[in-house]
Amino acid sequence: MSSSWAVIVFIATLIAALALVHKPLGDYMAHTLESTRHARVERVLYRTGGVDPDAEQSWGRYLRAVLAFSGVSLVFLYIFMRVQHHFWPPYDVPGMSADQAWNTATSFVTNTNWQSYSGENALGYVVQMAGLAVQNFLSAAVGIAVAIALVRGFARSNTNRLGNFWVDLTRISLRVLLPISILFAIVFVGAGMVQNLHHYADLQTLTGGTQTLTGGPVASQEVIKELGTNGGGFYNVNSAHPFENPTTWTNWLQIFLLLAISFSLPRTFGKIVGDKRQGYAIVSVMALLFVLSLGLNVAAQTVHHGTVPTAVGSSAEGTDTRFGVPDSAVFATGTTLTSTGAVDSFHDSYTSLGGATLLLNMMLGEIAPGGTGSGLYGMLVLAVLSVFIAGLMVGRTPEYLGKKLAAREMKFASLYILTTPLVALVGTAAAMALPGERASMLNSGAHGLSEVLYAFTSAANNNGSAFAGISVNTVWYNTALGLAMLIGRFLPMVFVLGLAGSLARQKPVPASEGTLPTHRLLFVGLLTSVTLIVVALTYFPALALGPLAEGLH
C-alpha cells in the first residue's frame, strides 16, 4: 500500500471508529449520570465519606465541592512527590524540589499533565501509580462532572439544583473511565507495552557501556493518559517511546482513545436536554474544526519547502520513523485540539506554519472536541455567545434551548472566554520582559517567542504539550506555569457553574417564529465562525510576531 493510501486509511478508519462509538458511548454516559440508582460499591464509598447521594447541590455548593476536592488532591500529590525518597527500594528515588513538585502536582490535578521532569528518572513506580495515575482518573472525572452540571442547567427549570458532585465524580470514575481503562490496558499489554513492577535493570550496550532500563506499570497508565485527555507520559519522550507506543496500530488506538469521550459527550448533551439534534449540531462544529485543523497541519508538514524537506518528501525532523509524518501530524492535531498534551513527535521541529496550527488548536479553547468535559462546556459557552450575537442582529432577546440569555448569563460567558487568553498572554509577556527568563530560551527571534507563547498557551488551556526549546525547569517557570494551569482550570469552572445555576433557575420560554433554530446548518456555520473570529481577534497579534513572522521570513 502506498504511503498516501495508508494515510487515507489511517484517517478514514479513525473517523469511522469515532462515529461508531458516538451514539452508544454518549447514551451510556447520559444514562449513567442521570440514573437514580446507586451501585453497592458506590453506596459504601458514600457512607465512608459521609455523603448523602440523594441530596442535590446548588451551583455554589457544587463549585465548593469541586474546589475542595481538587485542593486536597493537590496537597496530597505535592507531599507524595516530596517524600518519595523515603519509599522502599528500588522505588526510593530522590524527592522533587519544592517548585517542581508544585508544578507537577498542579499539572496533574488540573488535567494538564505538563512535565518539566524526565518521567522515568524523576518519579518512582509508587508515585507514578498511586499518585499520577489516580489523578488521571479524577481530574478527567471532574471535567466531565462540571460539563454535566452545565447541561443540567439547560435541561432543568425553576430550580437551583445541578446534581451532586460526589455522585457524578464517583460514577464517572467507576462506571465510565475504569472499565474502559481495564479493557484497553489488556489490549496494550498484548501489543507489547510494559506492565510490571520489576527493579531497574542495568544492561550492557553494544558499545561496551551500560544503560539503566526501567520497567513499570506503563500500559495501565497509558490508557487513562489518553482516555482522560491527560497526556503525562511514563517516560520522558512520551508516546514516542516504544514501551508506551510500540506499533503504528497502538498509535492509531491512542489517537482514538484521546478523542472518543469528547466526541461522544455532545450525544450525552442531546440526550439530557431531550433534543438529540442539539447534540448533532455541537458535534458537527467540533468535527468541522477538527477536519480543518487536520488538513492544515498535514499540509504544512507534507507540502514542504527547503532543500532537505523537498529531498525527503516532507518535514521529517523530530518525527518517529515508525509512524511517519502524516500519522504524527494526526496525533499532534488530536492532542492539541483536546487537552491531552501527549506527543509522539517533537512539536518544536514542526514547520513554522505546522507549529502555528498546533498553537491555534489550543487557542481555540480546545473545543474540537476538547478535553474530557472541558471541551463540551467550552463549546456550549461559545454557543451561548453565538446565540447572543444572532439576537443582537435581529433586535430580540436571545434564547438558547428555551433559556433567555440576559446580562447575567452573558457576564458569565464573557468572563469565561476572556480568562484563558488573559492568562496565556500575560504570562508570555512577563516571560519575555524578564531578562533571566529570556536567558532560558535556546532560540531567539520569532521562534523563541513561539516557544514561550506555546508554553503559556499550553498551561493556560490545560493541554500540557510542549514546543520545547526553552528550559522550563526553573523556579520562575515552574511557579508561573503552575499558576497559569491553576487559574486556567478552575476560574473558568467558576463561570461555567455560575452560568449553569443561572440557567437552571429560569422558566423555559416557548419557541416562537423569532427563535433561532440551533440544530440546523445555519447555526453550525454561525458557531464555527464566531469561534474562529473570537480566537483571531484575541491571539492574532501574538501569532503574527511568532510563528507567522517565522513562516513568512
- Containing 64, the helix (H) or strand (E) segment is helix 59-82
pLDDT recorded at residue 187: 96
pLDDT recorded at residue 394: 77
CA-nearest of 77, 111, 100, 71 to 485 is 111
399 phi/psi in degrees, rounded to 5: -135, 140
Distances (CA, A) of 19 to 26, 131, 259, 318, 328: 11, 34, 11, 31, 21
From 73-87, 208-222, 302-316, the region with the lowest mean pLDDT = 302-316
DSSP codes, 126-178: HIIIIIIHHHHHHHHHHHHHHHHHHHHHHH--S------HHHHHHHIIIIIIH
What are 323-332's pLDDT values in tens digits? 888 899 999 9
pLDDT recorded at residue 313: 55
SS3 113: coil
378: confidence class by pLDDT, cuts 50, 70, 90: very high
Distances (CA, A) of 85 to 75, 487, 504, 508: 18, 30, 49, 58
pLDDT recorded at residue 39: 94
What are 21-72's pLDDT values in tens digits? 999 999 999 999 999 999 999 999 999 999 999 999 999 999 999 999 999 9
What are 80-122's pLDDT values in tens digits? 999 988 887 667 788 899 999 999 999 999 999 999 888 777 8
Mean of pLDDT values over 203-230: 88
Q: What percent of the chain has pLDDT over 70?
A: 95
CA-nearest of 232, 249, 278 to 187 is 249
309: confidence class by pLDDT, cuts 50, 70, 90: low
Q: Distance (Å, rounded) from C-alpha 369 to C-alpha 15?
A: 13
| Average pLDDT along the chain | 90
Q: What is the CA radius of gyration of the chain?
A: 23
Q: What are the beta bridge partners of residue 261?
A: none
Q: What are the beta bridge partners of residue 319?
A: 345
Sign of CA dihedral 406, 408, 413, 417: positive
Does the pLDDT at position 304 exceed 70?
Answer: no
Q: What percent of the chain has pLDDT over 90?
A: 66
Q: Distance (Å, rounded) from C-alpha 9 to C-alpha 11?
A: 6
Instruction: Give the side-chain half-sphere CA count within 13 A for 314.
Output: 22
Q: Distance (Å, rounded) from C-alpha 149 to C-alpha 168?
A: 9
Domain boundaries, the chain: 3-202+210-274, 372-552
From 96-110, 314-328, 377-391, the region with the lowest mean pLDDT = 314-328
Cell of 68: 475542595
To 5 degrees, how large is the angle CA 377–CA 383–CA 387?
A: 150
pLDDT recorded at residue 61: 97
Q: Cell numbers 516504544 label which residue?
A: 242
Asked if 492 and 371 count as a contact pair (C-beta separation under 8 A), the reply is no
pLDDT recorded at residue 103: 95
What is the end-to-end Cα distance of the chain in Å, rounded?
A: 37
Q: 521-545 and 276-302 helices cross at what angle (nearest 10)? A: 40
SS3 50: coil
Q: Distance (Å, rounded) from C-alpha 394 to C-alpha 406?
A: 15
